[in-house]
A and B are shown apart, each in its own frame.
Chain A
Amino acid sequence: MSDPLFKALADPTRRVILDELTQKDGQTLFEICGRLTMKHGLGSSRQAISQHLAVLEEAGLVTTRREGRYKFHHLDTTPLRSIVERWPIQ
């Protein structure tokens, strides 16, 4: 059980980022920032969102993929499995 996972999930902005990646996987930084601002009123700077994504990436919840000149962020929920393995859902 990794602490980075819980640290990543503890922040509300990071949970919203995961929600938005659940709605549509594979987004640029610009799209994530746009969704947070327009849909959630979260006016964080691009740098702040970039740092949130780095924390999510460290926890294994987000992976990035380069495609030509573009960079996309993808959701990976597999680290969450460790939670139900630790505290099984009956």
Chain B
Amino acid sequence: MLTINVTSVFVDDQAKALAFYTDVLGFVKKTDVPAGGARWLTVVSPAAPDGVELLLEPDGHPAAKPFKEALVSDGIPFTSFAVEDVQAEYERLTAAGVRFVQEPTDLGPVVTAVFDDTCGNLIQIASEKG
């Protein structure tokens, strides 16, 4: 039996990413250990401290940045988070200075919005409609 315990986002600067993912988005730091020149740095949702960890992975590999840039150019959020209320999160994050490239949009079964994580990625937030 396999379980998913960690997933990654490629970030351009781990310290900046940690600040954004905790102070702005509201995640909580879980693990922070040196790993070569970088850190094994993960955050979790305060709603699920023992749930899936998000690894803030350095994007130093030569293929990572072109990959990220190509995704952003087409507006593609490679990573998606669940929220209870997209509109409420949109308002909270916009007030915190977060830049959205897609405002809350009703897509039938889900409402989604897309923002810039300031670390080189677009992130989607989504809530399923009841």
Contacts and interface: CB of A to CB of B under 8 A. Distances in A.
Is this pair of chains taken from one and the same complex? yes
Nearest to A41: B108
B107 A30 contact: no
Interface size class of chain A, counting residues whose CB lies under 8 Å from the partner chain: 10 to 19
A35 B105 contact: yes
B72 interface: yes
**Range for the number of chain B residues in contact with chain A:** 10 to 19
Contact of A30 (B103, B109, B114): B114
A31 B74 contact: no
B73 A39 contact: no
Contact of A70 (B101, B107, B108): B101
Contacts of B122: 30
Contact of A38 (B69, B72, B76, B107): B107
A28 B114 contact: yes
